[in-house]
Amino acid sequence: MKKQKIAKFKESVGIDIGTHSIKMVHLKKLHEGYKLLNYEVRPTVPTGTEYIPSDLRPDRYAPVIVEMLKTLHINPKGIKHLVTSVGGDNTSIKQIKTIFLPDDELESALFFEAKKHIPISGTDMVLDYQVISVEEKTNNMNILLAATNKDVLNDHVNTLVSSGLTPYIVDIDSLAVANSFALNAFVEEGVYVLLNIGAHRTNMIIWGPNAKFFARDIPYGGYHFTRDIMRKRQMEWDKAEEYKFQWGLNDAPDAVEGKTISMLDISEKSTEDVIVEEIRRSLRFYVKEAGNSDFRKIYLMGGSSKLKGLPEYIQDKASIPTEIFMPFINVEMPEKFADKKDPQLALAVGLAMRSE
């Protein structure tokens, strides 16, 4: 990742538009670091209503964003540095190596190169890139490619415009997560695994100060944990959600013995098992591709990272130290926020801290 430019803005707003909830972070740029002015997390579906992604309309986002801006007393017309992001199946980010090319040839060459590495369906690809380094011996370029398609980008922009906002920087979810970690963690050499566990998918990023960048989405998240509980406990959605946030992967004291969310039918694996299996598969792939197995730690973030027992479960199965990431090391927090550090704000913090 290239060296961060000095941010020129005085205040910034990062908005993480998730399928289940929207996270908004308002920061002030200090001489060194940032100060948290305010933040809010608001669901996009009514409390107690079962969250079924395929049934949810994208036009539900704008009214929620409008109300959040009012609550945080932010004038949408006064935002000078707004950073948002897109994610999902039709977005991708990948590090590649190519021969050295001058700037006037690089962009057009990368567009054709990206089609080999990034499977994007739908309308025309929208591509951006960042030159990470040029190898001294071979003169080859290490480049980070980020892509989506026009449909995804247009839908996202329409949501912002409908909210009264003027789109400025649109990032990729996985890159924003990596940015949040890089700017808010004390890291040594080695490789770190970041898991942003959302409602319907988990962003998995492998990042290190001098390591090859890797990102993929695992199509499982908090929704699937709740579905597991519904099946095993014979609970309705709202009761299963309540049970999940109270007990996580653990059993309630009065739970019927033998019924745990990790013991589903033999024909169907539990959500935590599937996620761990995908982590292992990705790590094997990374070692083969990057030649680096110096995995120091797994950091969990996102709303579902707070499930009791999940960090311990992943650590045991993946054999890598695992803990929850709090994205506020370089963010000054007023006293009223001191006890409200929330890992689900990681992506929004990474967006708000993004420089030009």
Residue-wise pLDDT for 79-114, tens only, equals 999 999 999 888 989 898 888 888 888 888 888 777
Quick one: 81 and 154 in the same domain? yes
DSSP string, 192-253: EEEEEE-SS-EEEEEE-TTS--EEEEES--HHHHHHHHHHHHT--HHHHHHHHHHHTTSPPT
Burial of 253 by CB count in 10 Å (0-12 exposed, 13-18 middle, 19+ buried)? exposed
Quick one: 154 and 209 in the same domain? no
pLDDT at residue 4 tops 50:
no
Quick one: 251 and 284 in the same domain? yes
Q: In what order do the strands lie in the sheet with 91-98?
A: 91-98, 141-149, 125-134
In the predicted model, what is the mean pLDDT of residues 252-259? 63
Quick one: 195 and 309 in the same domain? yes
Quick one: 274 and 235 in the same domain? yes
Number of domains in the chain: 2
Whichever domain contains 4, its CATH number is 3.30.420.40
In the numeric block, the tokens 């050295």 are attached to 100
Quick one: 22 and 12 in the same domain? yes
- The model carries a pTM of 0.90
CA angle 231, 234, 235 (to 5 degrees): 100
Residue 138 lies in a domain: no
Quick one: 15 and 77 in the same domain? yes
Structure tokens at 151: 């449909």
Residue 18 lies in a domain: yes
Quick one: 75 and 168 in the same domain? yes
Quick one: 267 and 215 in the same domain? yes
Spatial distance between the Cα atoms of 179 and 120, rounded to a whole number of angstroms: 23
pLDDT digits (tens, 9 = 90+) for 37-59: 999 999 998 877 777 777 778 78
Q: What is the DSSP letter of 138?
A: T
pLDDT digits (tens, 9 = 90+) for 103-155: 888 888 888 777 776 776 655 888 898 888 888 888 898 999 898 989 899 99
Mean pLDDT lowest among 119-128, 272-281, 284-293, 345-354: 119-128
Quick one: 71 and 38 in the same domain? yes
Quick one: 320 and 330 in the same domain? no
Are the C-beta atoms of 20 and 64 separated by less than 8 Å? Answer: no
Residue 338 lies in a domain: yes
Residue 114 lies in a domain: no
Residue 104 lies in a domain: no
* Burial letters 275-289, b for 16+ CB under 10 A, else e: bbebbeebbeebeee
Residue 111 lies in a domain: no
In the numeric block, the tokens 């994205």 are attached to 327
Residue 125 lies in a domain: no
In the predicted model, what is the mean pLDDT of residues 300-309? 94
Quick one: 29 and 167 in the same domain? yes
Per-residue model confidence (pLDDT) at position 155: 93
Residue 163 lies in a domain: yes
Q: Domain containing 154: what range?
A: 1-90+149-185+326-356
Cα 273 versus chain centre, distance: 20
Burial of 50 by CB count in 10 Å (0-12 exposed, 13-18 middle, 19+ buried)? middle
Are the C-beta atoms of 300 and 248 separated by less than 8 Å? Answer: no
